[in-house]
Amino acid sequence: IQKLRHWGYDTSYEVTHLSIDNFGSGHARVSFEAVASHLEQTARDLGEHAQAREWERVWTGYASFAQFVERPEVLPAELADYAI
């Protein structure tokens, strides 16, 4: 949305899509369920330590994209290996 606004495009569709896609339904809910299921399976198959490592991998990937894709210059040094 920020990119579209920057270039002067209408963001109505994207804003509406985000308002509909909340945690209770839509993409956000499906994503949550997929990650939760994956972590539960990892714990069953490989144990809690593996589950914790897998959660860190998932979270780091999400945070790298969500927070740093637009401004790579603010990426902390300890996350340099996770840069997109």
Neighbours of 82 (CB within 10 A): 15
Cα–Cα distance between 33 and 72 in angstroms, integer? 29
Q: Which of 54, 58, 63 is nearest to 84 (CA)?
A: 63
pLDDT by residue, tens only, the chain of 84 residues: 888 888 899 988 887 777 666 667 677 788 889 999 999 999 999 999 999 999 999 988 887 776 655 555 555 666 556 554
CA angle 58, 64, 70 (to 5 degrees): 150
Give residue 74's pLDDT.
57
The label of the residue with tokens 């994207």 reads 14
